[in-house]
Structure 1
Amino acid sequence: MFMKLDQQDLINVDKVDKIFEEIELNDNETDLKKSKFDKLKFFFKKRGNNLKEFMGKSPLFSYALKRIIYAFITLYIAISIIFIMLSVVTTDSAYLSGVNLEKLNIEYGSEQYHRLLDNKKRLYGAYGSVFQQLFIYLRNVTPFIPKEIIKNPSLVGTEIVGEKTTVWFYLGAFMNSASGGVPGTPVLDAFSKSIPISFSVGAIAVVLSYIIGVPLGILAAKYKDKSTDSAINGTSLIITAIPSLVLISLLYKMSIYVFGANGTYADSNFSTKIWPVLGVMLLIMPYIIVNTRRYVIDEMTSDYTKFAISKGLSSRYVFYVHIFRNASIRLVKTMPEIFVITLFGSSILVERHWSIDGMSKFILNGVSNKDTYVVLGYIFISASAGVFSSLTGDLLLAVMDPRIKLTK
């Protein structure tokens, strides 16, 4: 028997067919999407395996990359904390430093005053909430993002005008002329002029400190617990115990009143310029002498040294071929760090006394005048240099000493 279908039943059958067609179409689209997702997943997995294999074959590169990433994450966190702390103590008057409101006929608290203040804050990237300002600053110091800034700004009424330019790295601008630069001008421009001056003084002092300090440390180690060792090591400890401010002040006055040197570094002769170098050397050379002595003594008392001597090798051969070579590897590791510490730390007092136009004036004047971007710029540059100097020391150690493996 056959069932007779009316027109309504035919319509229902057509609807069911369309539903099945839609289900089949959706299934095909789902399979297509799933196939694309699997291909994309396989692509990233393959690239990840290739990267992992490359990192395994290049341990120095892998170690350096990880150190740089972790270091800059730490640096950004530290900069964020310092930025928030400085923002809390920075008043509106700091942004309007050098602006004569009476000359501009602007009353404090008026609409023009607030418009001028807002324009000044925009010039420094300090508009919005504290966290918006922090985000702007972190973006400015990230070299992979282009930034548009105003160079050589000038004030026309309440508006800031100047030459707009795009830069990749921006440390901010001077807020106060007492910090060592013209308000509104980039901090990096002033730093780029002063860093070579600090570099010249610091580099000479570091090189001379190693040339003199390393032989003295070796001499003290060879004659351990004897009069030579007591004289060298004792003198180093005494110099280290004297406060740096007192030590540099005494050296500065002695250079003027005893040896007749000039009191300023600029436009002076060799007899004056040597004293700042000696000042930096007094601050870092005791550290080099003590470390050299310690490293050499460690190698002298090691098992391989005793074994070499027991095999009949001469003490002179063992010392210069084995002991000094291994001790020098540890000394080389400290060289980049000492140089950065000298450039951004130890030389501050020396540059201050001899009026050297180096980096020290920015951190001292910036802190005293609450110039936020000068202080932050100095910290960012010095901390970044410290990161790379520490990394350079580790890589030098790994290259020179085959026993060091920068892997898990």
Structure 2
Amino acid sequence: MANFHDSDTHERKETSSLENNTEIIKDKFADIVVDDFQSEKKFSLLVNLKYHLNLYWLNSKEFFNKFPLLGYSLKRIFFSLITLILAICAIFILLRLVTPDDTYVSDIDLAKLKIIPGSPEYNALLTERMKIFGVYGSIWSQLGTYLRNVTPFIKKTLLVNTYYDSVTGHLTGDTYQTWFYLGTIFSAAVGQPGELVSTAFARAIPYSFAFGSVTVLLAYFIGVPLGIISAKHKEKSVDNGINTAVITLLAIPPVIIVIGIYLISIYVFKAHGLFSSGGFSTKFWPVVAIFLMIAPPIVLTTRRYVIDEMTADYTKFALSKGMSDSYVFYIHIFRNAGIRIFRVFPTAFVTTIFGASIFAEQNWGIPGMSRFIVAGVAAKDSFVVMGYILLTATAGIATSLLADIMMAVLDPRVKLTK
């Protein structure tokens, strides 16, 4: 009841302040000649606009105070989008500066068309192709075109599957409408030249998602218990053994781990070396390789968080009150430590799909997302690289926000307000 009266009093004060501000505005402009505003109507509109803006601001503050989680989420999304746009602009400009113009006609057989590089026909073809892909003109106009293409709220009409018409001397192709356009693949080392980047990504993501999700779940299923066991036996032989194994795996470069598991699977367990030609055993070993890369940090962080909670004052107080060790551990210690452990689960999922799995996908020939960033950079296929970066950055922002929301939902002590 006290909180209700306090809120009501605060609201009356804000309304009174708003009315006073309106009266001040009227007094301030009362001595101004009406002709300065051209009419009394414009003066009235100015005062009403100021009043409604203040009213809107107060209502917005009241709304977000009632729903702090929503307000925090919207604020995070807004600033994340600003950061993402700035990053896209910087990376796009850098890639365009290092990408030669002839890349945009690299998928056309110029010899078959009898077009000599540097000839007027070649220059006309190059100009027309660059206009189709939105990379012609000043760097700022190119950047504006790319930002428009990746904005999902604007419908775009594109020309795809272009080919050179020797009769007309111009490019022709199929008209395609889409809401989201990442560009086209140019290099055969990356994929099928002329294919949409979004189409190639849609075909590859399920493979990376499947391996990433299975590996992350397995890493948490095994890594968290190992971390708990290590913390409960701190500085004992079990703890020392787990720490030694974990630190050793962390010290080995990921590429060495992947190559080592790859060779062991072939020469020791007689598995196939290619994902497409093997059965379950071939598909099992990439999971093992990725697991050995991402599980050690999970074990270490789990051990650290559990030890922090074990040495906290509330733990000592609960034990001094006569509570059993198992009750204190599983009801208090593990619950509080678990919030911090599983908070990073969404981030670990994204970093595994777009990071740790790169080496494994390359060695076993898995048709996942890794080949786009590796081959795309090598072939200077700018649209592929930009699409990969845009996708990973967006996923990282989304999972970071999800992790914060999970923290606020699981832990009532966390308040996403000032």
User: Do these two structures clear the TM 0.5 threshold for a shared fold by scoring above it?
Assistant: yes
Q: Is the 8 A contact 1:180 1:361 kept in 2?
A: no
**Quick check: 60-69 or 235-244, which moved more?**
60-69
Cα distance in structure 1, aligned partners of 2:229 and 2:34: 87
Which string of whole-angstrom CA distances, capped at 9 and with x for unpartnered residues, describes residues 282-337 of structure 1? 11000110010000000000000000000000111100000000010001111000
Cα distance in structure 2, aligned partners of 1:366 and 1:28: 60
Residue number in structure 2 paired with 1:69: 78
Consecutive unaligned residues of structure 1, counting only runs of 5 or more, are: 1-23
Could you state the TM-score of these two structures normalised by the residue count of structure 2? 0.89
Structural mapping, 1:60-99, within 5 Å: 60-99=69-108
TM-align CA RMSD: 1.6
Cα distance in structure 2, aligned partners of 1:149 and 1:361: 26
The 3 A distance-change label for structure 1 pair 102 and 27 is: closer
1:181 and 2:192 aligned:
yes
1:105 and 2:114 aligned:
yes
The AA in structure 2 aligned to 1:166 is Q
Q: Is the 8 A contact 2:187 2:381 kept in 1?
A: yes
1:168 and 2:175 aligned:
no
Cα distance in structure 2, aligned partners of 1:391 and 1:116: 46
Structure showing greater radius of gyration is 1
1:297 and 2:302 aligned:
no
Q: Is the 8 A contact 2:107 2:193 kept in 1?
A: no
Q: Is the 8 A contact 2:275 2:365 kept in 1?
A: yes
Which of 380, 396, 401 in structure 2 is aligned with 1:370? 380
Residue number in structure 2 paired with 1:7: none
- Secondary structure of the 1:358 match is coil
Could you state the TM-score of these two structures normalised by the residue count of structure 1? 0.91
Shift of 1:53: 1.6
Shift of 1:145: 2.2
The 3 A distance-change label for structure 1 pair 222 and 102 is: same
Shift of 1:135: 1.3
Q: Is the 8 A contact 2:187 2:379 kept in 1?
A: yes
1:232 and 2:242 aligned:
yes
1:332 and 2:342 aligned:
yes
1:192 and 2:202 aligned:
yes
- Secondary structure of the 2:301 match is helix
Q: Is the 8 A contact 2:159 2:174 kept in 1?
A: yes
Residue number in structure 1 paired with 2:282: 272
- Secondary structure of the 1:148 match is strand
Shift of 1:179: 1.5
Cα distance in structure 1, aligned partners of 2:383 and 2:192: 12
Cα distance in structure 1, aligned partners of 2:376 and 2:71: 38
Q: Is the 8 A contact 2:227 2:301 kept in 1?
A: yes
The AA in structure 2 aligned to 1:368 is A
- Secondary structure of the 1:83 match is helix
Structural mapping, 1:139-178, within 5 Å: 139-157=148-166, 158-178=169-189
Seq. identity, %: 48
Alignment size in residue pairs: 384
The AA in structure 2 aligned to 1:149 is L
Cα distance in structure 2, aligned partners of 1:171 and 1:391: 24
Cα distance in structure 2, aligned partners of 1:153 and 1:284: 43
- Secondary structure of the 1:149 match is strand
**Quick check: 161-170 or 328-337, which moved more?**
161-170
**Quick check: 374-383 or 149-158, which moved more?**
149-158
The 3 A distance-change label for structure 1 pair 274 and 104 is: same
Cα distance in structure 1, aligned partners of 2:153 and 2:52: 26
- Secondary structure of the 2:113 match is coil
Cα distance in structure 2, aligned partners of 1:226 and 1:28: 83
Cα distance in structure 2, aligned partners of 1:385 and 1:251: 29
Shift of 1:27: 7.7
